Structure 1
């Protein structure tokens, strides 16, 4: 049975491609979700499982994150990079002492699982698709605590998003003062399909409020929280401040580590993340991939956009590092140009953290 079938029966629920888009009022759902009064069935998130005695050391060797000492119930986040340091996959991780459970974007799940299966070699690991076993429900930590999270090994499977706290071995490019992520309170519970059906029954009876993916994504965008859905084939973790929560800069080697270290220590990310306050109505929101220009020059692209319940129409965009901080930006949407005021997230000077002494040129006289 489709786990979302019970949700589809809730009055006002709009489901597309197995994802609850909204439950009748996306703006009100944002308020309720942020205030802990609603829960969001996340059909765009699926669960992969990695069993076996070597699972944590194996995942650590493949990824950007140090998780070999992860204790049961502890939350983490990891990235899988290509050989050039670009982001290929991302996963939230919670381990229960027997299995590492990965919560991933549905569009990324098949590719990540296929790659993990290829990388098993002779280690004691067993990656598998667990989307038919468990479903994901998100909300504030307090709201999610009311759910009966699955606990196959006795540890409730709840992932608490560490964003925007800088983890051990991590690094922050965006300043913490005034960071909107300081108000970000997000957790995801892995529940049995029967628990989701119970939740839908409570919503149908008027005893529980639901929120859709539109509301959840708007809150994420306002918190400057990166997601694999935002990534293109060129994305470096530095460009979206993902070194905060998903990268350990001092762990052992992994694919793409050389680029991560080089950009962080000696160079600068070629693009920088900005938050855009858009002019105009919510009927003219940009789409992912819409161009961002300064005057007549294209300087970047929109990676996510939303109508926020407090901030109005907003977007996240990646622009060239050289784009002036005071540049008047315009987003070229399908319905025409939209003026945008930029708020700096990643400063142009991010990176180059190593203090490298300058070597005088040969023959130079003092």
Structure 2
């Protein structure tokens, strides 16, 4: 078990744990994932945010440097805001998905990169490779991360006396928005990627544990990976390492909100622009809806009516709001069509599946 103060606290609360590449995460708590999901939809939850990593960058050349290497267009990003972004290689394969934030602390203009925790070292290697003497530096922070999410998340933040990041200019006060609020020895992010209104508190583990204890005493539900995964899949938020990886491209992952097709060159830009302008990727990540019995089908092959393999299921959950199993899957072009029907096959199970396509909406 990690030396994390938050993880130690969650173990005391009886959480089961899931071992991941970057370390353990709480899987579920004794109340059960159903209760956790309900609280996320109707009230508020607290959860571990350490599945994501954080790098801070500063220096006079930071904005220009990031504009040159990232897939998003930073020109419209003001302090206090954020945007979907990515770092790609020259063939548009993923180096890392990113949430990019800009904020001010102690009068200093800072940029924050939020990414899968297992990609932190790879991202630092990439930054070092692209850095040719520009005036900038980057560092990891010795912080842990606590999530507070759900429709009552703002009131829970207020109870703790913590700043609530305002949505970036022009954004509604709802899930899916960005925002930042600096605090002494820490930071609060408004996250768009958890399938609910969500605040991510970055601070020392001892502080976060004290706030978590306070919320727990006020009957706030602790939630684990299972409930968070249901919310993620319902919102079509693909996860690195589950639904795509460094052998996937941004276009086939259908993460178009991370890409600018109008700004100048960045690694992978030619591939992204060509596919966006002239056609579709040979494979695409799609939404799936399963009929029949709710048999877990993650990893199942997806077959057409001729039993030809068209892809596989990458994520599977039972969605209470849909009252049906749903998921994500990577499909060849033939199957990546709205309403296309096929079978998910795993062992003796053959489950009917229907396909729907996410929006193709580049930045």
TM range (shorter): 0.7 to 0.9
Q: Given the superposition, is the C-alpha separation of residues 201 and 187 from structure 1 closer, same or farther in structure 2, using an over 3 Å criterion?
A: closer
User: 1 or 2, which has the higher strand percentage?
Assistant: 2
For 2:59 and 2:318, how far apart are their aligned partners in 1?
43
Q: Given the superposition, is the C-alpha separation of residues 53 and 227 from structure 1 closer, same or farther in structure 2, using an over 3 Å criterion?
A: farther
1:66 aligns with 2:79: no
1:30 aligns with 2:32: no
1:95 aligned residue: 102
Give 5+ residue unaligned stretches, structure 2. Answer: 164-180
Query: Which aligned pairs between 1:125-274 and structure 2 lie closer than 5 A?
Result: 125-130=136-141, 132-140=142-150, 142-143=152-153, 145-146=157-158, 148=162, 151=182, 156-161=187-192, 184-202=196-214, 204-205=216-217, 207-229=219-241, 230-244=243-257, 246-274=258-286
1:3 aligns with 2:10: no
Post-superposition CA distance 1:14-61 (Å, at most 9, x none) = 223321111221122112112342122223112222222222221221
For 2:5 and 2:102, how far apart are their aligned partners in 1?
24
Cα offset for 1:125? 1.7
1:121 aligns with 2:152: no
Normalised TM-score (structure 2): 0.79
* Aligned residues of 1:90 and 1:104 also touching (Cα < 8 A): yes
Superposed CA RMSD in Å reads 2.9
For 1:154 and 1:2, how far apart are their aligned partners in 2?
17
* Aligned residues of 1:49 and 1:128 also touching (Cα < 8 A): yes
For 2:120 and 2:44, how far apart are their aligned partners in 1?
30
- The SS at the match of 1:157 is strand
For 1:325 and 1:208, how far apart are their aligned partners in 2?
40
For 2:329 and 2:350, how far apart are their aligned partners in 1?
14
**Range 199-208 or range 61-70, more displaced:** 199-208
Post-superposition CA distance 1:104-162 (Å, at most 9, x none) = 111222211221122222012212222x2242425247515446367257995313317
Normalised TM-score (structure 1): 0.79
Cα offset for 1:6? 4.0
Cα offset for 1:325? 4.9
